Amino acid sequence: MIDNRLGEDYEALRKTVEAFAHDEVAPVIGELYEKGEFPYDIVAKMGRMGLFGLPFDEEHGGMGGDYFALCLALEELARVDSSVAITLEAGVSLGAMPIHRFGTEAQKREWLPKLCTAQALGAFGLTEAGGGSDASATRTTAVRDGDDWVINGSKAFITNSGTDITALVTVTAVTGTKPDGGKSISAIVVPAGTPGFAVGKKYSKVGWNCSDTHELSFTDVRVPGGNLLGEPGRGYAQFLSILDEGRVAIAALSVGLAQGCVDECLRYAHEREAFGQLIGHYQAIQFKIADMEVRAHTARLAYYEAAAKMLRGEPFKREAAIAKLVASNAAMDNARDATQIFGGYGFMNESPVGRFYRDAKILEIGEGTSEVQKMLIARDLGV
């Protein structure tokens, strides 16, 4: 039987986050965005609400929910603002999830309770200046020295890596050579403040202005051998599986932005007059809004399907890539159309759709570009 109605718990969560985004995020985010300030108060409130712990076990400080619950929260937040949504997405799906999936019990007990309440944020350091899509091009190295790892290298564009509450970054590093001559890549947790671990200046970005993004460098950074996450040499594969899940989350966030464009345009179409009529009376505007709703709706179905397969424990790589591709396109197209419907006001930073326009493009790039999604889909189809 097909039943894609949300269950009671999911619907209650969705409504709670919708109200939070409306009451707590919408009134303050425009000013924070203008100033490029990290939304510490909002993050602390989301921590108290349990949003950072949604998919994690209660015994490790989480809410005992699942990944779909996280996706619903991301969609509702991104309907209002994507900087806040990506801070949650990166904190949960990239910062804490590798520890939840691959950590030892000791690592989980050390890190997860803080990460689940947003008293601390974790970051995910895969991308380097020399390779984002080709993540196997990692040049950062980690060499065993007695009981320690000594890390040298750098990472680029790392979200949540330089806030006052950032506690760790899990990095991929080359730790040896495989029998076939390829790089053996492992994942290692580097606590913030470790000597030699330097956080570079905050990037000046086109969008996501309240999200925290830095270049990181590692010079003879020494961490205990016990900071290895999962098995040695499995870091690359572990990170790829984390990204498969992350794509469903980014798809949900993209749907939120796409739906937020519809919300704003419906309101504006009922308010704004041109040539003596509300602009909503013009079919050109009606059709644009209809197209926008179609994109948001179909992209939502795509991420629901990917999340459902993930939760059933079935392979979902192809569906995750499809959802990310469709939803990020929907976000980009809706942001462009919404800005057009708002006219000159849409080009102003103070208008929410101006923010949506600036925030949409990265969705076609981060956690795998659109071209990478097509590569994954084609590969999964056997070509």
Ligand X SMILES: Cc1cc2nc3c(=O)[nH]c(=O)nc-3n(C[C@H](O)[C@H](O)[C@H](O)COP(=O)(O)OP(=O)(O)OC[C@H]3O[C@@H](n4cnc5c(N)ncnc54)[C@H](O)[C@@H]3O)c2cc1C
Judged by beta carbon, residue 126 or residue 190, the one nearer ligand X is 126
Question: Which positions from 343 through 362 interact with ligand X, judged by CB under 6 A?
Answer: 362
Site string for ligand X, 84-103 (x = CB under 6 A): ------x---x---------
Q: What are phi and psi of 233, to 5 degrees?
A: 80, -5
- Smallest separation, CB 122 to ligand X (Å): 10
The closest of 237, 246, 225 to 89, measured between CA atoms, is 246
Find the catalytic residue in 110, 215, 367, 371. Answer: 367
- Smallest separation, CB 239 to ligand X (Å): 8
Question: Which positions from 128 through 147 interact with ligand X, judged by CB under 6 A?
Answer: 131-133
Beta-carbon count within 10 A of 309 CB: 17
By CB under 6 A, residue 322 contacts ligand X: no
Element (H, E) at 21: none
Q: Could you say which of 42, 126, 265, 376 contacts ligand X (CB under 6 A)?
A: 126
By CB under 6 A, residue 159 contacts ligand X: yes
By CB under 6 A, residue 238 contacts ligand X: no
- Smallest separation, CB 58 to ligand X (Å): 27
By CB under 6 A, residue 366 contacts ligand X: yes
Helix axes 235-269, 67-78, angle to 10 degrees: 40
Judged by beta carbon, residue 20 or residue 87, the one nearer ligand X is 87
DSSP secondary structure letter of residue 61: T
Task: Tell me how far apart the alpha carbons of residues 252 and 210 are, in angstroms, rounded to a whole number.
Answer: 19
Antiparallel, parallel or unpaired: β 166-177 and 121-125? parallel
| Amino acid at site 230 | G
Question: Which of the stretches 55-63, 155-163, 296-304, 319-327 binds ligand X when contact is defined by CB under 6 A?
Answer: 155-163
- Smallest separation, CB 160 to ligand X (Å): 7
The closest of 71, 29, 38, 64 to 50, measured between CA atoms, is 64
Task: Tell me how far apart the alpha carbons of residues 213 and 217 are, in angstroms, rounded to a whole number.
Answer: 13
Q: How many residues of this chain interact with ligand X, rule: CB under 6 A?
A: 24
By CB under 6 A, residue 217 contacts ligand X: no
By CB under 6 A, residue 365 contacts ligand X: yes
Judged by beta carbon, residue 206 or residue 348, the one nearer ligand X is 206
Collapse the DSSP code of 63 into the 3-class scheme (helix H, G, I; strand E, B; otherwise coil) and give the result. coil
Q: Could you say which of 158, 190, 255, 325 contacts ligand X (CB under 6 A)?
A: 158
- Smallest separation, CB 49 to ligand X (Å): 23
Q: Could you say which of 56, 67, 208, 357 contacts ligand X (CB under 6 A)?
A: 208
State the residue number with the nearest CB to ligand X: 132
Q: Could you say which of 111, 157, 268, 356 contacts ligand X (CB under 6 A)?
A: 157
**Letter string b/e over residues 238-248, b meaning 16 or more CB atoms within 10 A of that residue's CB:** bbeebbbbbbb
Task: Tell me how far apart the alpha carbons of residues 125 and 238 are, in angstroms, rounded to a whole number.
Answer: 13
Site string for ligand X, 49-88 (x = CB under 6 A): ----------------------------------------
| Amino acid at site 361 | K
Element (H, E) at 258: helix 235-269
Judged by beta carbon, residue 94 or residue 221, the one nearer ligand X is 94
Task: Tell me how far apart the alpha carbons of residues 143 and 138 are, in angstroms, rounded to a whole number.
Answer: 14
Task: Tell me how far apart the alpha carbons of residues 84 and 65 are, in angstroms, rounded to a whole number.
Answer: 20
Judged by beta carbon, residue 169 or residue 269, the one nearer ligand X is 169
Q: Output the CA angle 376-216-73, nearest 5 degrees.
A: 55
Task: Tell me how far apart the alpha carbons of residues 279 and 202 are, in angstroms, rounded to a whole number.
Answer: 41
By CB under 6 A, residue 127 contacts ligand X: yes
- Smallest separation, CB 272 to ligand X (Å): 32
Distances (CA, A) of 182 to 144, 171, 185, 231, 375: 19, 19, 9, 17, 21
Catalytic, 58? Answer no
Place of tokens 């779909």: 68
Judged by beta carbon, residue 213 or residue 254, the one nearer ligand X is 213
Catalytic residue IDs: 367
Contact residues: ligand X, CB under 6 A: 90, 94, 123-127, 131-133, 157-159, 205, 208, 213, 362, 365-369, 371-372
